Amino acid sequence: MTPALPHAGLIEASYRKKFVTHSVPGYHGCYLRVDLSTGSSARIALDESRLRRVLGGSGLGVDILLNEGAAEADPLSENAALAFVFSPLVGSPLTTSAKFAVVSKSPLTQRINDSLASSGFAIAGKKTGHDAIVLVGKAPRPSVLVIDDENVSLEPADELWGLANRAAQDRLRERLGADYQVATIGPAGERLVRFATISHDGRHAGRGGSGAVLGAKNIKAIAVRGSRRTEWAHPQELVALAKRLSEKSFGPATAKYRELGTATNLLAFNRLNVLPTRNFQQGSFAGAEAISPEQLSVARERTRSSCAACTIGCEHLYGLKNGDGSVRLEYENLFALGPMCGISDPETVLAACKLCDELGLDTISAGGTIAFAMECAERGYIDAPWLRFGDGTALIRALESIVSGDELGRLLAEGSRSMALEVGHNSIAFAPQVKGLEIPGYDPRGLQTMALGFAVGTRGADHNRSGAYEVDFSEAVDRRNVNTEAVPLAIETEDKAALMDSLILCKFLRGVFSDFFAEAAEMLRLVTGWDVTAAELRATAARIVTTKKQFNIRAGWTPAEDTLPERILHEALPEDARAQLSPTRLATLIEAYNRARGWTPAGYVMEDIRSL
């Protein structure tokens, strides 16, 4: 093993002996706090009442960050905190529970950011004996943080610096041993690209730039290994429930994910005119069929994979024709690097997805920012005549420039909001973002409950924190003329997402539950022994959403941020004149949302969140 850095911190032996956790089942009852500047680490106790209030994952993460003062700190400064957070369900036999949340202030939005990723890192990270790993400070040189049970050390990362994600992870496992689970940043995180990801085994904590936060701390990778399991309160009943849940996960509710993957949304969204195309200038794309998974699987190899401890297996990997392996394809990658940039060549889209994986770029923000730049180039606002919608070579060149740091790349690396402010010409009107986070593949004009979800979302425009599109895809609302009756339905999806992200369970499982809050309460009871009810979990979910809002208020949020780009509020979709959302209607929806949340009409949280 490479020798540890001189400043490497090991938990003091006396402390190690003294620290015996007597926690509630499912938890270790503490988090590990590593100060990278001093190389010291400490275990901080988490008491039961606190855990019950915020559970784990996103909920526990934002609670810890508020206590660390992260809301007020510059996310790329030494003062910033970043938390890897596990959950009571991690390591249990419940399907899709091998997940972790990465929580920090976003360098892209300057607001709360909680990104989730899956697989062995979650299980191994929790087995180190901690419910979360919190990093503060900055390592003096590029480093790998190694956590092996209670032993914490910083090792040099000089020979890993500059490597793409897969190469860095392979090299590190060779160095440390295959029993370590590793999360890395790619070159994008090293260069502080504001939408850089943290990657583990091909999956990414993708949105909001947590990779840049880690890069700013000089941490190329975190390697975890552990031997500490938590107990389950009712192990036999838990195993029986897990078996039933796994059986349900093989049913029709998840067939789409198993058989086709999320990319199959493309043609349906295209038909409904809600597929964002050429930077939201259109809602349908003539080249959609050519890049649809239905076509892609005719002409190339397709394999399936899944995260650890998952019985669904939604990951579909498509082979590249140039022999450069295969790449996971999700709807969001496909939309952002395809129609959003006007690209209909399947090989280019797959190559662009692969490049984002390796560099560590969030595909939605990368595609959205490049599409925005393409429109700026078309209008003559930037000097990049080669950057044209539909030009695959230009897309790849733009992606590479984001990490090369050339003049255009420097602009792109800041995301579309900052780029627009620098470019001028009121280009902010068509920058495809909310609070600085690029909008995912749902045109809000044709999906207006989702429009509300995007506008009020604490981490910006996001389809994983609000599932309000489900309301639009139902007969409960007129999706192109939504009124305040949609508000409680939108809140319900947001609360469900907050609970799933805190327990943590995969959202692709949601279709198998007939009463999610009640079934989640039963899972938590069997794991922890708490007499938790559906009503309590509804209150917990609402509290977690409010806690995120509180973080944002402390970070400087103002009501003016809860909006959508001018283009969305002033231009109807060319294919569908009814798909029009006025600023007045959006404002009415937002005010109703704020009141329903128990906040002020403008969206402030007046009461102390601790007393909620």
User: Rule CB under 8 A: which residues touch other proteins?
Assistant: 252-253, 255-257, 259-265, 267-268, 271-273, 294, 330-332, 442, 463-464, 467, 469-470, 473-475, 478-479, 507-508, 510-511, 576
Which two three-digit tokens encode residue 581?
Answer: 């959302």
**Residue 306 interacts with, from other proteins, ligand SF4, none (CB under 5-8 Å by kind):** ligand SF4
**Residue 261 interacts with, from ligand SF4, other proteins, none (CB under 5-8 Å by kind):** other proteins
3-state helix, strand, coil in the chain (%, to 5): 45, 15, 40
Which two three-digit tokens encode residue 59?
Answer: 């909920």
> Which CB sits closer to ligand SF4, 203 or 445?
203
In angstroms, what is the minimal distance from the CB of 110 to ligand SF4? 28
In angstroms, what is the minimal distance from the CB of 463 to other proteins? 7
Rounded to 10°, the helix 487-503/57-68 angle is 80
In angstroms, what is the minimal distance from the CB of 339 to other proteins? 14
> Which CB sits closer to other proteins, 97 or 418?
97
Tokens 């789409």 belong to: 256
**Residue 442 interacts with, from other proteins, ligand SF4, none (CB under 5-8 Å by kind):** other proteins
> Which CB sits closer to other proteins, 9 or 261?
261
In angstroms, what is the minimal distance from the CB of 468 to other proteins? 10
How many other CB atoms are found less than 10 A from the CB of residue 223? 24
CB burial of 560-587 (b: ≥16 within 10 Å; e: otherwise) equals ebbbbbebbbebebebbeebbbeeebbe
Decide if 329 contacts 317 (C-beta within 8 A).
Answer: yes
In angstroms, what is the minimal distance from the CB of 500 to ligand SF4? 11
In angstroms, what is the minimal distance from the CB of 451 to other proteins? 15
In angstroms, what is the minimal distance from the CB of 56 to ligand SF4? 16
Which two three-digit tokens encode residue 365?
Answer: 């923000």
> Which CB sits closer to ligand SF4, 341 or 520?
520
CA distance 371 to 408: 13
**Residue 313 interacts with, from ligand SF4, other proteins, none (CB under 5-8 Å by kind):** ligand SF4
> Which CB sits closer to ligand SF4, 303 or 600?
303
**Residue 473 interacts with, from other proteins, ligand SF4, none (CB under 5-8 Å by kind):** other proteins
> Which CB sits closer to other proteins, 429 or 476?
476
**Residue 310 interacts with, from ligand SF4, other proteins, none (CB under 5-8 Å by kind):** ligand SF4
In angstroms, what is the minimal distance from the CB of 520 to ligand SF4? 16
Decide if 203 contacts 119 (C-beta within 8 A).
Answer: yes
Which two three-digit tokens encode residue 477?
Answer: 């609302």
Find, among 156, 443, 106, 103, the residue nearest to 272 by Cα.
443
**Residue 474 interacts with, from other proteins, ligand SF4, none (CB under 5-8 Å by kind):** other proteins
**Residue 256 interacts with, from ligand SF4, other proteins, none (CB under 5-8 Å by kind):** other proteins
- The residues, ordered by sequence, that sit 6+ positions from 548 with a Cβ below 8 Å of its Cβ are 58, 62, 112, 114, 458, 459, 498
470-to-11, 249, 462, 474, 475 alpha-carbon distances in Å: 47, 19, 14, 7, 10
Task: Name the residue type at position 412.
Answer: L
DSSP string, 409-472: HHHHTT-HHHHHHHH-TTGGGG--EETTEEP-S--TTT-HHHHHHHHH-TTSS-TTT--THHHH
**Residue 264 interacts with, from other proteins, ligand SF4, none (CB under 5-8 Å by kind):** other proteins
At 382 the three-state DSSP class reads: coil
Decide if 392 contacts 438 (C-beta within 8 A).
Answer: no
> Which CB sits closer to ligand SF4, 308 or 612?
308
> Which CB sits closer to other proteins, 176 or 314?
314
At 136 the three-state DSSP class reads: strand
Decide if 65 contacts 71 (C-beta within 8 A).
Answer: yes
Residues at the site binding ligand SF4, with contacts judged by CB under 6 A:
96, 118, 257, 306-307, 310, 312-315, 506, 508
> Which CB sits closer to other proteins, 19 or 513?
513
In angstroms, what is the minimal distance from the CB of 501 to ligand SF4? 12
**Residue 285 interacts with, from ligand SF4, other proteins, none (CB under 5-8 Å by kind):** none
At 133 the three-state DSSP class reads: strand
Residue 223: beta bridge partners? 146, 182
CA distance 329 to 500: 23
> Which CB sits closer to ligand SF4, 238 or 506?
506
In angstroms, what is the minimal distance from the CB of 190 to ligand SF4? 27
**Residue 510 interacts with, from ligand SF4, other proteins, none (CB under 5-8 Å by kind):** other proteins
In angstroms, what is the minimal distance from the CB of 68 to ligand SF4? 29
> Which CB sits closer to other proteins, 12 or 485?
485
**Residue 330 interacts with, from ligand SF4, other proteins, none (CB under 5-8 Å by kind):** other proteins
In angstroms, what is the minimal distance from the CB of 507 to other proteins? 6
Decide if 569 contacts 454 (C-beta within 8 A).
Answer: no
543-to-46, 556, 562 alpha-carbon distances in Å: 18, 20, 19
**Residue 345 interacts with, from other proteins, ligand SF4, none (CB under 5-8 Å by kind):** none
Find, among 176, 148, 172, 147, the residue nearest to 159 by Cα.
172
42-to-15, 32, 170, 210 alpha-carbon distances in Å: 9, 6, 29, 23
In angstroms, what is the minimal distance from the CB of 508 to ligand SF4? 4
> Which CB sits closer to ligand SF4, 309 or 411?
309
> Which CB sits closer to other proteins, 464 or 552?
464
99-105: strand order across its sheet: 40-45, 30-35, 132-136, 82-85, 99-105, 112-118
> Which CB sits closer to other proteins, 265 or 344?
265
In angstroms, what is the minimal distance from the CB of 464 to other proteins? 8
